[in-house]
Structure 1
Amino acid sequence: MIIWSLCLILILVFGSSHAKHLCHPDQREALWEFKSEFYVQKPDEMKSNTTTEMWRHNTDCCSWDGISCNPKTGKVVELALGDSYLNGPLRSNSSLFRLQHLRGLYLSYNNISSVLPDSIGKLKYLRVLSLGDCNFFGKIPSSIGNLSHLTSLDLSSNGFTGELPDSMGSLNRLTNLELVSNKLGGKFPHALLNLSEITMLDLRDNQFEGMLPSNMSTLSKLEDFEVSGNLFSGSIPKSLFMLPSLIHLNLNKNDFSGPLEIGNLSSPSKLGSLTLGENNFNGPISGSVSKLTELWFLDLSFWNTRRGLVSFNIFLNLKSLTFLDISYLNTRSIVDIGIFSGLMSLSHLDLSGINSKISSTLHLPSSMFTLILSSCNISEFPKFIQNQTSLRYLDISANQIEGQVPEWLWGLPGLRYVNISQNLFNGFEGSTNVIQRSANQMLDISSNTFQDLPLLPNSTMFFSGSDNQFSGEIPRAICKLVALDTLVLSNNNLNGSIPRCFKNFRTTLSVLHLRNNSLSGIFPDESIGDKLRSLDVGHNRLSGELPMSLINCTELEFLNVEDNIINDKFPSWLSLLPNLQILVLRSNEFYGPISSLGDSLSFPKLRIFDISDNRFTGVLPSDYFSGWTAISYVVDIEDRTPLRYAGRGSGYYHKSVGMTNKGSKMELVGSGFTIYKTIDVSRNRFEGNIPESISVLKELIVLNMSNNAFTGHIPTSLSNLTNLQSLDLSQNRLTGEIPPDLGKLTFLAWMNFSYNKLEGPIPHGTQFQSQNSSSFVENTALCGLPLKIRCGGEETTKQEQDEEKEEEEEQVFSWIAAAIGYVPGVVCGLTIAHILTSYKRDWFMNTVHYFT
């Protein structure tokens, strides 16, 4: 026993010692080289070491963070470096591909930013490949079909393009496939129908199009099928509903149409989540929905019933429903909200856009968490809400409710979000601090007739009070809201200065909109928070200089200070802001040049640049626009500030800015910011030539350089701006001809060259000939249509007269031919004779002879 005990101890000791040194030298070297292929760039605030920084070359690689080895062979079988701040491309000869025994590769949430090399197919033992959110681009390599052991593949949130390779149909062990948020396109990949083991297929937010295949039943184990945010069309195949294993079906935000046909279900459906909203379905909602008795989530929003009637009783059989969205059904039916009182599990109800009836005795399940009754034609505050003790999210916007907001609303213990915007409210019941005592975090009271700003709870994160009748100074009590993220007070009668105590928001505030008030004084530097993404103080009376502290706002995307009296040089330092997309300095007192010798002014993400109506001077360098990438190419730029806080029509704030397009002023709101790419430098004192680099701005829609002192010729290269719709070069000192190639700009609907020193013929082409003559007046020697001044003097005039005579003769002949075809027999001949007597007698005699 003693001997056996000693042997056992020796085995354990030596075995343990061996286990500590599993890693083969070739595996360690491959990992170490792989680490050296990337550089680690972690945030400044991150103090702890990242995964690869903990690796030590002289230690056992199987003990390194993120590494797992086979205990018997010492081969690396798992590399888990997700979110490790790796930066650099994954090359085709990367040492990664020497780790031939890998079963799990996790590289998600790194900045690899390259194509996915064909070499990925060498890792033939992979079971899990997770490469989500790595900035990969290009096509998915066909070699991925070599990974025959793969059970889970995640390529989500990258920039992959093109169609899926057919080789993916060979992954017959695959159970999870996630391709969310790429730029993949083409028809539904039929190769995926070969994946007989697939349980989750997620193609959301791509560019797939066409119809779904009719034989979806081949995916007999499919549980989760999501294709929302694509371009699929046609009807939904019945075979989808026949899948016995299907639990989640998400077809939201496509172009599906026709009625919904669920078909005859041979066995009870397991479908628990059905999302069909925001498509083009039309006609009545099929009563067969009531067969899906296991549904707990149902979204039929934006269904077009063609103003037909809806039987809301079809939902009463769905006793398990917790989420129901039937908003904007385009029906003339009036829904009695009480009909849903029998759905005892219901926690989310959205009836927006449907005329609703609310009885005084209405009781909904006390489990209600979200209630959205926007645009429901409600005229009284719904009293049944008083009993919704679990209610967290309330939206009753865009109705006709008037009077005061009831005091009891703020006593609901769970309420965090309230949207009562676009009603006729004029005050709040109870004491002045009635709201302040609540736990509310997000409040939208915009577009009412409130006169006094309410005291808000310190927990407030979002407050919109725009379009009311607030007056006086901005209450300093707002500065106590230390968690405030969004403050919108636009379109009121506020005066005084911007509070210096806004410095309390330096680390929280991302949206500050004070547009269209009567605020005055300087914009204090200390009131600018580093987290700002959207700042709009336009249409006030602010003076002084633009706050230099804006240079610290590296997330700033939208800056609008239009129509103030700011007196400052051009803030060229704004070009250091990497995310700036919209810059509006219009109608102030900015002065001086907007560039200096040796300066490289580059706005890579800028889409709207409006510095019009100031006192800018000087010459624009020929390469001034060379670094403006977003206007030069088709670039997808995420607009991170347009709509915050979930809920359709709720808690949204809208950026807004005026612009001059096609000679008229317009307001740019919402999606217009992503569509329009504009440059407006009009009404300044610029001189010299128009920069040649303007020709690289091929995505430009509006160009306005009017009311300056530009000289020289109009650049011929303007014809490169193939998307241009509006061009204004009026009231300058431009000379020479209008380049004929501008006639090739098929989208150019409006132009103005008036009040210059241009000469020569106006280019031919529909775009030019359709303009009003006022677009060309007051030039030195412009000629041709639409002006009445003819080109070329007498010789050309005689030629034009000959052409007019020929046109008259052709009209006469056309009239004769019509008469011949209209009047039969002798009457026709006599009519012809009468007409031709005054024209050509010889021709007439020959014609009469022919007809007789």
Structure 2
Amino acid sequence: MMHSFTEKRMMILWSLCLIFSLSYLVVVFPSPVKPLCRPDQRDALWEFKSEFYVDSLDGTYVETKPWSWRNNTDCCSWDGISCDHNTGMVDVLDLWGSPLSGPLRSNSSLFRLQNLQSLYLGSQNLSGIIPESVDNLKYLRVLSLTSCNFFGKIPSSLGNLSYLKELDLSGNEFTGELPDSLGNLKQLSKLNLATTNIGGNFPRQLLNLSELTWINLESSQFKGMLPSNMSSLLKLEYFDISGNSFSGSIPSTLLAIPSLIHLRMRRNKFSGPLEIGNISSPSRFKTLYLGKNNFSGPIPGSLSNLVGLKLLDLSFWNTRGSMVDFSIFLHLKSLTFLDLSYMNTRNVVDLNLFSHLMSLRDLDLSGINLKISESIHLSSSIELLVLSSCNVFEFPEFIKNRTNLYYLDISSNQIGGQVPEWLWRLPVLRYVNISHNSFSGFQGSVDVIQGSTTQKLDISSNTFREPFPLLPTSMMYFTGSYNQFSGEIPWQICELVDLDTLVLSNNNFSGSIPRCFEKFKFSLSILHLQGNSLSGIIPEEYISDSLISLDIGGNQLSGELPKSLINCSRLKFMNMEDNKINDTFPFWLSFLPNLEILVLRSNQFHGPISFIGDSLSFPKLRIFDISANFFTGVLPSDYFAGWSVMSSVIDIVNTLPSTFAGRRLEYYHNSVGLTNKGMKMELVGSVFTMYKTIDVSGNRLEGDIPKSVGLLKELIVLNMSNNAFTYHIPPSLGNLTNLQSLDLSHNGLSGAIPPELGKLTFLAWMNFSYNGLEGPIPQGTQIQSQNSSSFAENPRLCGAPLQVTCGGEKEEEATKQEKEDEKIEEQDQVRSWIAAAIGYTSGVVCGLTISHILISYKRDWFIKIIHS
């Protein structure tokens, strides 16, 4: 009993000792406590937040960084903030994707965070320039400023960030070249300058950066040849210069870099034959993108040595019409992506040849004549298949068993009959392009497509007719133009709640635009209904605020232009031609900051096209066609002073967005007619990025031709015929050095043809007929090559190509003196408009900055005026 009691006492004693020991450990070795953010760091962050406003109107920003920060809490716990555990100094600031707007100031409190090592400010609307004071953050290892709307020059002070390892400036609008100082960043391993508009030759300062492993210069404006000594980039693994204007041959020193794994050079101007044998480590190579260049000659047989290759693009290779040994590709067993599209080979290729590539997922053989046998065993893992323009006559049956297929393009072949019913049962099929064939219908019932997973469908340029198919509610892009559909536009289309693009152009639809289109008020970005027989008015509520492209030309629509278009701030393309719209000129369209193409031709528009004492400003407009209407009035002399894009060499690329599975797809087909060189022509697709035209012909405009037209130096077509313009032809037209077509016929112009026009070397077509012009026709190759009809019905005009000889020396001397006087007067006035234009261009930058604040107020005021 005593022994048991003693044991109990010992157990209690040991328990107390254990508890005491554990308590001692807790006291002596406390658990780590997260350090509090230093007050100076917290204040700097809080002030930095206050330097910007929120680019959001719906309140969704409230719980996003930095708007979720609370001033009375530890800033090291704030979303997007990380601190050094020893010092409490902020070392990471990650505000990527936050709704911040406003400039990054040179004295920003951001630069007080001097221990910052990683800074991420991507996908913001910061705008302005990157301040030189960025080098205050001298310990930065990572700097990511992607897609922040920065412009101007890249600051040379970036070269002072000697610890920098990663620099991402992609997706901005910089000008100039890369500063030489970036050659000082000896620790830099990753550089991303994609889509930055930086120009010039390849930046040779990069060759000094031997630690670089990753370079991306995609889709900027680089040109010239690559340096011959690329081998100094000893550690380079990833090199992407796609989408530039590099030319010449690929230096052998680049291919010989032993660490190189991924080489992307597509969409450049490289030429000549290619020697793949220079590749140092064939087994390491994973990516080789050489497509859409000017390479010529045979496909290098040494390609078969790249046994580790996964991605290969040799599209648009010029084989000079020779035969290609396609067995080269059979050795590349690891290929998952193969693009051989548009090789100009004479081969007829058996598709079964590629059945040995069992890992293949993406295959593009467009433009190659194919033989498709019934026993084909193409990889069952195929996900993307493009067989466009392959001279195929029957729908490929082997597709039926390709259950992984999500992308199918068999456009521009000669396939007829009905689209097979089994196609729509493929379980993951998302994109289908069967356009430009001879399909007449769909197998099965009218709802055969409705149960499919298809989101993007292009059936344009076939012979489809009734019944119109019921589409799946998941449909986002539908293009059915150039078919034979008739009757009213089916109301079932309005059930497509995610519809972004609807193209029903050039069918036989009649009736009015369905009232249910108001369901697309906030979703539809592309609406093309041109070339039908639609009638009625265009109700205000049908206009989607998200519109980028609107084409309803070639119908019988009437009434006024919907004033709700003023809300379409993204609108780039608007075509209303050949309708019965009866309205005054829509001055309020100048509030649309992105409008590039405006066509109002052949309607019943009337009244003046200018406000008294106020010039019209369309800073991004490239095509302006208001011909064949009833516009009247006099144009102010400075009318064209604010038309910036037509005055500069800046090209605005057609940026209507559509990206699917890494491939750029255009689900819209912009097209518009214009008169060029006296003939009607149609602009389609990428041609829009070249043409800069003005057509005001066939109206009742009067007075002088505005002298500010001479500012539009990039203009290609100018048509002011069939109006009531008077006085002299402005000599400032001689500044239009890119002009190819000029029509001033059927007006009341007088005086001489300015001799400056004889120096326009691109001016291939001109028409001055039916005016009151006089004096000698200027001498110049282009003018002398014109037909005499271009100068007809000007009784006092003389000289070649007319058969009328000019008068004596006195008359010529008087005419010459008159021209000199006019020239001096014109030069004085043009100088003043150039000054005005320069002032305007400078103002645009500031104006666009404050327009976000003012536009809503001004727009609402304007709408009230319109409706009052």
TM-score by length of 2: 0.86
CA distance in 2, matches of 1:712, 1:122: 62
Range with bigger deviation, 535-544 or 76-85: 76-85
The equivalent of 2:772 in structure 1 is 757
Report the residue type matching 1:257 in the other structure.
S
Q: 1:93 to 1:524 in 2, by over 3 A?
A: closer
SS in 2 for 1:542: strand
| TM superposition shift of 1:636 | 4.2
The equivalent of 1:344 in structure 2 is 358
Matched, 1:116 2:130: yes
Are the aligned partners of 2:740 and 2:765 in contact in 1 as well (CA < 8 Å)? yes
| TM superposition shift of 1:648 | 7.4
1:157-176 alpha-carbon deviations (Å, 9 max, x no partner): 12233333333233222111
Q: 1:34 to 1:788 in 2, by over 3 A?
A: same
* 1:470 pairs with one of 485, 503, 525: 485
The equivalent of 1:711 in structure 2 is 726
Range with bigger deviation, 365-374 or 179-188: 179-188
The equivalent of 2:636 in structure 1 is 621
1:745-785 alpha-carbon deviations (Å, 9 max, x no partner): 33322222222223333333333333222222223533333
Q: Structure 2: 5+ residue runs without aligned partners?
A: 1-16, 814-868
The equivalent of 1:280 in structure 2 is 294
Report the residue type matching 2:747 in the other structure.
N
Are the aligned partners of 1:249 and 1:275 in contact in 2 as well (CA < 8 Å)? yes
The equivalent of 1:19 in structure 2 is 35
SS in 2 for 1:252: coil
1:339-381 alpha-carbon deviations (Å, 9 max, x no partner): 1112111111111111111111112221111111111111111
Matched, 1:578 2:618: no
The equivalent of 2:554 in structure 1 is 539
Report the residue type matching 1:779 in the other structure.
N
Mapping for residues 169-180 of structure 1, pairs under 5 Å: 169-180=183-194
The alignment yields a C-alpha RMSD, in angstroms, of 2.8
| TM superposition shift of 1:9 | 5.2
The equivalent of 1:191 in structure 2 is 205
Report the residue type matching 1:468 in the other structure.
N
| TM superposition shift of 1:267 | 5.2
Matched, 1:481 2:471: no
CA distance in 1, matches of 2:611, 2:768: 29
CA distance in 1, matches of 2:131, 2:219: 24
Matched, 1:411 2:387: no
SS in 1 for 2:478: strand
Range with bigger deviation, 2-11 or 263-272: 2-11
Report the residue type matching 2:470 in the other structure.
L
CA distance in 2, matches of 1:569, 1:350: 50
Percent identity for Structure 1 against Structure 2: 66
The equivalent of 1:330 in structure 2 is 344
| TM superposition shift of 1:58 | 6.5
Matched, 1:136 2:124: no
Are the aligned partners of 1:238 and 1:263 in contact in 2 as well (CA < 8 Å)? no
The equivalent of 2:831 in structure 1 is none
1:243-288 alpha-carbon deviations (Å, 9 max, x no partner): 3332211111112222222226665521112111111111111121
Q: 1:440 to 1:58 in 2, by over 3 A?
A: closer
The equivalent of 1:394 in structure 2 is 408
Q: 1:258 to 1:746 in 2, by over 3 A?
A: closer
CA distance in 2, matches of 1:267, 1:600: 64
1:712-740 alpha-carbon deviations (Å, 9 max, x no partner): 33233333333222222211122333333
The equivalent of 1:310 in structure 2 is 324
The equivalent of 1:85 in structure 2 is 99
1:383-434 alpha-carbon deviations (Å, 9 max, x no partner): 1111111111111111111212111111211112111111121122222221
The equivalent of 1:656 in structure 2 is 671
Q: 1:786 to 1:241 in 2, by over 3 A?
A: closer
Range with bigger deviation, 368-377 or 153-162: 153-162
| TM superposition shift of 1:792 | 3.3
Mapping for residues 674-753 of structure 1, pairs under 5 Å: 674-753=689-768
| TM superposition shift of 1:655 | 0.7
Matched, 1:516 2:531: yes
CA distance in 1, matches of 2:364, 2:49: 51
CA distance in 2, matches of 1:265, 1:620: 64
| TM superposition shift of 1:12 | 5.8
Are the aligned partners of 2:615 and 2:638 in contact in 1 as well (CA < 8 Å)? no
CA distance in 2, matches of 1:566, 1:689: 28
Report the residue type matching 2:188 in the other structure.
L
Are the aligned partners of 1:642 and 1:654 in contact in 2 as well (CA < 8 Å)? no
SS in 1 for 2:417: strand
* 2:245 pairs with one of 231, 237, 250: 231
1:278-313 alpha-carbon deviations (Å, 9 max, x no partner): 111111111211111111111111111111111211
Range with bigger deviation, 243-252 or 150-159: 243-252
The equivalent of 1:321 in structure 2 is 335
The equivalent of 2:167 in structure 1 is 153
* 2:799 pairs with one of 765, 768, 784: 784
Matched, 1:200 2:214: yes
Report the residue type matching 2:234 in the other structure.
S
The equivalent of 1:845 in structure 2 is none
Q: 1:765 to 1:28 in 2, by over 3 A?
A: same
| TM superposition shift of 1:57 | 5.9
SS in 2 for 1:77: strand
Q: 1:597 to 1:473 in 2, by over 3 A?
A: same
| TM superposition shift of 1:497 | 2.0
Are the aligned partners of 2:653 and 2:689 in contact in 1 as well (CA < 8 Å)? no
Report the residue type matching 1:162 in the other structure.
G
- Rg larger for: 1
Are the aligned partners of 1:309 and 1:332 in contact in 2 as well (CA < 8 Å)? yes
Report the residue type matching 2:646 in the other structure.
I
Q: 1:273 to 1:45 in 2, by over 3 A?
A: farther
CA distance in 1, matches of 2:516, 2:126: 42
CA distance in 2, matches of 1:319, 1:768: 63
SS in 1 for 2:560: coil
| TM superposition shift of 1:477 | 2.1
The equivalent of 1:563 in structure 2 is 578
* 1:588 pairs with one of 603, 608, 625: 603
Range with bigger deviation, 405-414 or 347-356: 405-414
TM-score by length of 1: 0.87
| TM superposition shift of 1:314 | 1.4
SS in 1 for 2:728: coil
CA distance in 1, matches of 2:443, 2:626: 46
CA distance in 2, matches of 1:351, 1:595: 53
Are the aligned partners of 2:62 and 2:68 in contact in 1 as well (CA < 8 Å)? no
Mapping for residues 634-649 of structure 1, pairs under 5 Å: 634-641=649-656
Report the residue type matching 2:169 in the other structure.
L
CA distance in 2, matches of 1:355, 1:197: 46
Range with bigger deviation, 313-322 or 165-174: 165-174
1:501-559 alpha-carbon deviations (Å, 9 max, x no partner): 22222222211112212222222333222222111121122222222332222222111
SS in 2 for 1:331: coil
Are the aligned partners of 1:284 and 1:310 in contact in 2 as well (CA < 8 Å)? yes
Q: 1:404 to 1:358 in 2, by over 3 A?
A: same
* 1:770 pairs with one of 778, 785, 809: 785
Q: 1:733 to 1:50 in 2, by over 3 A?
A: farther
Report the residue type matching 1:448 in the other structure.
N
Q: 1:626 to 1:264 in 2, by over 3 A?
A: closer
Report the residue type matching 2:171 in the other structure.
S
Report the residue type matching 2:293 in the other structure.
N
Range with bigger deviation, 779-788 or 395-404: 779-788
Range with bigger deviation, 539-548 or 258-267: 258-267
